[in-house]
Amino acid sequence: YAEEIVQIGTIYGLDGVYYSPESLEPGMGYWVRATQDGDITLSSTTIALKEVEQNNYLSDANTIVLSSESYSTTLFFGKDVPRGEKLNYSLPPTFLKMAFDARFTDDMKVVLEAGEIEVTNQFETITIEYDIKIDAGEHMNWVLSSESGDEYTLEGIDEITVPTEETFALERKAVIP
């Protein structure tokens, strides 16, 4: 049974960038994270589909949306996910010739306090939108650093456009007077 081996929330299609499909279309390819070996059988004769509820632990987490041209990826930070649920927030592996991709190391779309963001982008600039719902704490800031050394303090809701880089570091940093 698929619901016993498919990791919830990890079915992805590809259209220049990975996306979570609302439905599976015949003839299209999809990536699925499985927790064990097994068979997944899809049938068009099924009258009712069992819908699996996914707890959204990240509904009130900080978000950072990285985009370029018509492609975008949303990443989450500042909130922890229970240990047994972490794979629900994993992404398919990257490959050469992808138009756009952004993710934390280890193919994840969530970190608690710090992480490196790996970017694949065929365009010269990247737009970064952020929404900070969880404050970094007293004398602390959420800071995004580029590979070339530029630092951006993330507060409130805002958007910046920067030159494309292969990596960015996101961290909860102490404010040094």
The percent of residues above 70 in pLDDT, for the chain, comes to 90
Q: What is the amino acid identity at position 99?
A: A
Contacts of 23 (CB under 8 A, 6+ apart): none
Most confident of 19-23, 96-100, 132-136: 132-136
pTM to 2 decimals? 0.81
Beta-bridged to residue 170, according to DSSP, are 115, 144
Binned at pLDDT 50, 70 and 90, residue 136 comes out as very high
- Greater confidence, 32 or 62? 62
Q: What's the confidence (pLDDT) of residue 71?
A: 92
Q: How far is CA 81 from CA 44, 118, 173, in A?
A: 34, 21, 21
